[in-house]
Structure 1
């Protein structure tokens, strides 16, 4: 069975090769699209980390992250005219996106192999939300999963890091800031993660082992 990482790499290569695809760089903090803007096309993250959110009582609220190989701006596929983005997307780190128009995506989806890749990516988005919801009753487990899923690799060190404001991460995990601090402390006590200069660093193998042990225990 093809690995998740390999499948994402294939999707990036396919989208990069679509006619008219644009490479769109963003600096950390840049707004990618705003709520209500015309949804001209769909983005694919090729590098970096993006926060996606919406508005609750006119206050912005982060609800998800998108990393390498993840899709953004699916509202462009809506049948309503004109399609508009429902929420916002903002770069958390130096980010590179691939942008293709809805028409280019539509033509590409006529190809079975490309359609299979796109559907698998959509399934990943749904499953990510389900997995995160399952971990919400245990903040340290939710944080461990987020580090494994969205952490940016540190070359040659077997580590990943999440460069994300604490309030944003707490919102995505569905926990309070206090619970997030306790989760970091809990993972640090197990030698799996630590807070460093405004970001959270994790030891990938230890995080994966922790999640595997939790999964095994819950299956008993």
Structure 2
């Protein structure tokens, strides 16, 4: 009789654990589904910056908000029940990628995706921006980060998409390390290897600058 009770208790514990795990799994799926359903056409997906490499170098000279640092951005397009991200990336250039694959790529690199949305009074800019973004697909990535018409980098791609509605604006670029007051070592070496002069002061844009726009509001984080 005692052995039967011990066996029954173990069995109940196993059932309870399995039930709890199933509950967590279901909760995760529902949360993910809710996040996706709450997305809107034209939402902007910002990718958090790493602390090292190119990502860290971009953030070092562009971060404006203490609570947020980004090194990549894309614009969301909904087509029926399918969701895509239009963006310019080093791998693939200007492209149209499924939201699932876009998020997976960031997670594999240990980065998160934060959703921003244009405030209601600027929503009218979205149809034209999405159309414009689609027209720029297929162009190579701009590895020099100096504006031209034949290739785009991530924030450049988004600024151009919204240019007709003047949602964002180009600003003088800086490659100065705020801690030293001198050109960031990474960028100095980066442009030296390319045989180019550091484009200090030339017009451009960056993900942190776009995220700091007063025309946007932060919505959620994946």
Q: Fold match, TM over 0.5?
A: no
Which structure has the larger Rg over C-alpha atoms?
Answer: 2
Structure holding more strand per residue:
1
TM-score (normalizing by structure 2): 0.23
Point out which structure has higher relative CO (alpha carbons under 8 A, 6+ apart): 2
